[in-house]
Chains A and B, each alone.
Chain A
């Protein structure tokens, strides 16, 4: 049974690269272009993992994370935050909001897949 992953990023090319990597490892991928868009995709279907950018228009990744934590059907979904800044205030905010898994861009697809596999193999 293949797992479904929601990929949230305002950069279409990053979404595409991530999707390519995930699909090649037999994951189903749903794409969203920002936090708001992502919330509309959380419509009851099973999502095994969320990969989200931090800096995005409309709704950023940290806010998305907080919102997800309040959705009864999704609050325990593992979330991987993609970030370009390794250790700035965003990360502190994210941590405060409960983000645990961070991947710093640019990442190798294999790194991402490894992280996905660690978190979505239950």
Chain B
């Protein structure tokens, strides 16, 4: 069942999409790409929003969008060309449409500010709506006859089928309709067919109408007015002052100006006369919706999608449980059947996950606008290059990633890219460059924002950190540690926080947002050359391939993508009393889960069951950092559904989620980035567990 609110929700979602489409199209136009397809998209988007808004009685949107649609129609029909000024107005107008869509009509009616913006933009756009008419008038004689052009004067001659009144179709209704799509300057009601009263059939139509009509609607819209009475009707819609009209006038008045019409115009006239004859064919098909051959998309409520994916997750778990039971039976036929079930379950899982994957390109496209606006605000000349837009990642992540990315990009533009003068002095190209790219890397998605600006000034960071008492003067920090300071709350090196990157959140919030997505940010920078921020994220948040380990009596899952290798701890000699193992010459800090989570020691009896009381170490990696996790027991690979943690566990460091195991036990999913960080920070503490 659909109610008004459902329909409205659809309208909002649809409008949002259309606005983004407009944005992309405008950016393409700005980049010089203004082919018909792009201009059509632009027009259609505005048109659809206006149309739908009308259905919902959102006349503040309709009225405002109408003129945009009008201007875009002119652009599409090449009556005007988009110049820089118009483009700026259109960007603003598009934004304002977005505001209006998110504004209740009552609120709008009471907001002088919004109305003011509407009318300012209207007058700015009106110019372009006007230009077209005057241009058309100027070029009238030699312009090709465009019967679908705007604000045009028409002569409409109507001799409708005589039975139309009996069909409930009153010409008055059509005339009133015409008044809603244009202006009627004059109507002449012709009586020539009206017989004496004795001879007339009172239910038949005898009146003939000649209407002087002005409208910005295309000729097709005027024709459409009469689509239901087209049978047995004569409907002539002729552009006033068009060559054919002049021709007709000449013929009627037998005026000597006939010599003024040259042969070229006569030829056009002949072509045109074919067009003006409205066919009497059934026009009913004109109401069919246009079908295109593009990929069809189905709009699905994201909640339903999440339910499906959750269920498939449960299925994967059930299947694992069945697996473990079947193995005990040693029944070959059963095992074979289960294996086939397993394959299908996996395919199903992949297909379901695929549903959540969206290309990041759409999000990236928004940055063209952001970069453009920010560059304008900053008075810098910056070019944005986008690569890897086709890279897919979890829709939920895309949504949560936008804000951090915006901040990083703005930061790069504001603090990274230098002013044009500075760039020229430094012998760089005057135009700064920002590169936004995405790619897959070992089960992760990496999103990079790089700039060719001045790079991070390490000295300034150090000074600032010291002044803020984050570090003391004697500290010697590696580059990574130094850059990590940027994520420290309240850290900003630019003396004056501009209203751009300083707006709202700081880099610390950006970092936290990324961490919440089980991601991390790495920074590379070279002074004078530029900086690169890399955000590394898992592909999806819903299901992970994990590595199941036990410590004490607890189960843990290590995200598979972070596991490098597993070793027997005994083979490592500890290094200089530090919590560190030597892996082929590389010093790797480690952390003991039992100690870290303060778990009870395994019962002695249980220990006896093991071949020997040994400890395993799982080497994990996140970004460029590695650490070892010491556990009691390795249980092997497992595929599992991530369940959000209940609130009591949320404060537990080192845990990112939970999951149900095939045997019904709860396993905790380890937060590897956090554990690596902990292990590094405790690396130098004296050992307690191992001597």
Contact = CB atoms under 8 A, between A and B. Distances in A.
A122 B173 contact: yes
Interface in B221-244: 224-225, 227-229, 231
Contact of B285 (A86, A119, A122): A86
B225 A111 contact: no
Given A98-B167, A113-B55, A122 B288 contact: no
Interface string A91-103: 1000000101111
A121 interface: yes
A24 B166 contact: no
B133 to A, nearest CB: 25
Nearest to A69: B166
Contacts of A107: 287, 289
Interface string B211-228: 000000000000011011
Contact of A104 (B166, B173, B287): B287
A13 interface: yes
A100 B229 contact: yes
B172 A122 contact: yes
A118 B56 contact: no
A108 interface: yes
A107 B289 CA distance: 6
B597 interface: no
B653 interface: no
A116 to B, nearest CB: 10
B172 to A, nearest CB: 4
A42 interface: no
Contacts of A24: 54-57
Interface string A64-85: 0000000000001111000000
A110 interface: yes
Contact of B228 (A16, A100, A106): A100
A21 B252 CA distance: 47
A118 B2 contact: no
Contacts of A79: 168
A106 B225 CA distance: 20
Contact of B166 (A12, A76, A114): A76
B169 A119 contact: yes
Given A76-B166, A86-B284, A100-B229, A120 B173 contact: yes
B510 to A, nearest CB: 42
B176 A121 contact: yes
B173 A106 contact: no
B285 A87 contact: yes
Interface residues of B, number: 34
A57 interface: no
A46 interface: no
Task: Specify the main secondary structure of chain A where it touches its partner.
Answer: mixed
Interface residues of A, number: 37
Nearest to B224: A114
A89 to B, nearest CB: 14
Contacts of B2: 13, 16-17
Contacts of B231: 100
A76 B170 CA distance: 10
Given A20-B7, A25-B57, A121-B173, A103 B287 contact: yes
Given A20-B4, A76-B168, A118-B225, A86 B173 contact: no
Contacts of A101: 228
B7 to A, nearest CB: 6
A41 interface: no
B52 interface: yes
Contacts of B165: 76
Interface string B99-112: 00000000000000
B51 interface: yes
A122 B52 contact: no
A106 B288 CA distance: 8
A107 B51 CA distance: 13
B288 A86 contact: yes
A108 B50 CA distance: 13
A113 B288 CA distance: 15
Nearest to B175: A121
Interface string B279-321: 0000011011100000000000000000000000000000000
Contacts of A121: 172-174, 176-177, 180
Contacts of A118: 173-174, 177, 225, 227-228
B405 to A, nearest CB: 36
B191 interface: no
Given A20-B4, A98-B167, A118-B173, A111 B287 contact: yes
Given A77-B168, A120-B173, A17 B289 contact: no
Interface of A: 12-13, 16-17, 20-21, 24-25, 49, 76-79, 86-87, 91, 98, 100-104, 106-111, 113-115, 117-122
16 contacts: A13-B1, A13-B2, A16-B1, A20-B55, A20-B56, A25-B54, A76-B166, A86-B284, A86-B288, A103-B287, A108-B289, A109-B52, A110-B54, A118-B177, A118-B225, A122-B176
Interface of B: 1-4, 7, 51-52, 54-57, 165-170, 172-174, 176-177, 180, 224-225, 227-229, 231, 284-285, 287-289
Among all A-B residue pairs, the 10 with the closest Cβ atoms = A78-B168, A121-B176, A122-B170, A122-B173, A24-B57, A110-B51, A101-B228, A109-B55, A121-B173, A122-B172
Given A100-B167, A100-B229, 16 more contacts: A17-B7, A24-B57, A25-B55, A76-B168, A100-B231, A101-B228, A103-B287, A104-B288, A104-B289, A111-B287, A113-B54, A118-B228, A119-B228, A120-B173, A121-B172, A122-B170
